[in-house]
């Protein structure tokens, strides 16, 4: 009952208002695995329809690249995958068309995720197309997944209240009693919590976060979601991010102390957990701990640490009055050191 009241309230408000890793790719030159996406999104390569089993296999392989933080490989695979999925959807009818639309939606979700990580505006196009394809599929899980990446794109452009409304509307439509839809619903609430925090709406952010935690405690961890799994550890990682965004990183220290990041299922999620931990320590002025967390990101996912946001954090460490041993070498190999 409390969950429904919280979601209803948000909708109503919206209506009225460690060791270093071997680097992947040399640090010379800009690192943007999403650079080729823009051309592909506006003019897909030519492709023939693919057998359904092959399309599922190709989508699964791209998902593995994302979850392993192999962004260069993912960026190379996505144009062909998007083209094949689009051609298959266009050539299909009935149930086969719905299935192809679902694969196309998930390919666009991956494209949006990759573009978001690189701060590339192609995320807008990819996220919008993901949601269009997902709605055509009629399947609630990809609709939720696509809504999530569109809302993240909206948040990045400063449209936090609208993004929270989108997320809570979609969450309210999902069946909490079924494991897949209930789990997706929880991911939407977590993303909405962080989005509200970014907009400095503390009450909504913490309320949504607590509701997501209650949902997680009521069910076992649900693996197999497309890009983000649901677990108590995942909720704790989001809590650190929410507290960082609200300007109260000190409240996240106890949460970080109980995290067991090594148990998180993917390199991408482990790297994200260490990223939020690094941001927490940086906000608290503990630059040695910040650097230790950044090295953990590199250890888990060498390409993750070369994202623009992490290069900026590394550059902040580089120019602090108090020198942190090893930061300059780290900055050089991760692309944060100006040429």
Per-residue pLDDT averaged across 207-213, rounded? 96
State pLDDT tens for residues 284-312: 999 999 999 999 999 999 999 999 999 99
Domain that holds residue 262: 239-339
State pLDDT tens for residues 110-125: 999 999 999 999 999 9
Is there a domain that residue 148 lies in? no
Yes or no: say if 94 and 58 are a contact pair by the CB < 8 Å rule: no
| Predicted confidence band of residue 17 (pLDDT cuts 50, 70, 90) | very low
pTM > 0.85: yes or no = yes
Alpha-carbon dihedral 327, 329, 335, 339, rounded to 10 degrees: 110
**Total domains, the chain:** 1
Is there a domain that residue 2 lies in? no
Is there a domain that residue 278 lies in? yes
Q: Which residue has better confidence, 264 or 175?
A: 264
The reported pLDDT for the residue numbered 1 is 43
DSSP H helix total and E strand total for the chain: 16, 0
Yes or no: say if 24 and 297 are a contact pair by the CB < 8 Å rule: no
Q: Residue 219 has what DSSP assignment? A: S
The reported pLDDT for the residue numbered 179 is 77
The reported pLDDT for the residue numbered 34 is 85
Per-residue pLDDT averaged across 141-166, rounded? 96
Is there a domain that residue 337 lies in? yes
Is there a domain that residue 60 lies in? no
Is there a domain that residue 43 lies in? no
State pLDDT tens for residues 24-54: 443 444 578 888 888 889 899 999 999 999 9
CA–CA gap between residue 175 and residue 313 (Å, rounded): 39
State pLDDT tens for residues 217-240: 887 666 656 777 788 999 999 999
Is there a domain that residue 227 lies in? no
Q: Which residue has better confidence, 13 or 52?
A: 52
């Amino acid at each position: 009952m409390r969950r429904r009241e919280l979601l209803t309230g948000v909708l109503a408000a919206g209506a009225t208002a460690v060791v270093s890793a071997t680097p992947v790719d040399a640090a010379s030159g800009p690192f943007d695995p999403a650079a080729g996406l823009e051309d592909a999104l506006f003019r897909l390569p030519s492709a023939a329809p693919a057998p359904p089993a092959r399309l599922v296999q190709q989508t699964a392989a791209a998902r593995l690249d994302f979850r392993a933080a192999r962004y260069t490989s993912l960026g190379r695979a996505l144009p062909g995958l998007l083209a094949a999925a689009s051609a298959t959807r266009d050539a299909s009818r009935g149930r086969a068309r719905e299935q192809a639309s679902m694969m196309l939606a998930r390919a666009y979700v991956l494209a949006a995720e990759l573009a978001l990580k690189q701060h590339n505006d192609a995320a807008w196009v990819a996220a919008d197309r993901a949601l269009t394809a997902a709605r055509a599929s009629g399947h609630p899980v990809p609709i939720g997944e696509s809504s999530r990446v569109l809302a993240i794109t909206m948040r990045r452009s400063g449209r936090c209240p609208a993004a929270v409304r989108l997320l809570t509307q979609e969450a309210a439509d999902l069946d909490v009693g079924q494991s897949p839809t209930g789990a997706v619903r929880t991911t939407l609430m977590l993303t909405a919590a962080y989005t509200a925090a970014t907009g400095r709406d503390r009450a909504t952010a913490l309320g949504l976060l607590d509701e997501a935690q209650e949902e997680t405690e009521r069910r076992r961890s649900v693996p197999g979601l497309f890009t983000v799994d649901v677990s108590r550890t995942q909720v704790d990682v989001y809590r650190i991010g929410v507290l960082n965004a609200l300007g109260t990183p000190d409240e996240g220290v106890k949460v970080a102390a109980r995290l067991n990041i090594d148990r998180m299922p993917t390199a991408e999620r482990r790297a994200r957990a260490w990223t939020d931990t690094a941001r927490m320590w940086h906000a608290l002025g503990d630059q040695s701990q910040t650097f230790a967390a950044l090295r953990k990101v590199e250890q888990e996912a060498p390409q993750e640490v070369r994202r623009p946001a992490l290069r900026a954090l590394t550059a902040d460490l580089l120019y602090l009055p108090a020198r942190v041993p090893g930061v300059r070498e780290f900055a050089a190999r991760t692309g944060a050191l100006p040429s």
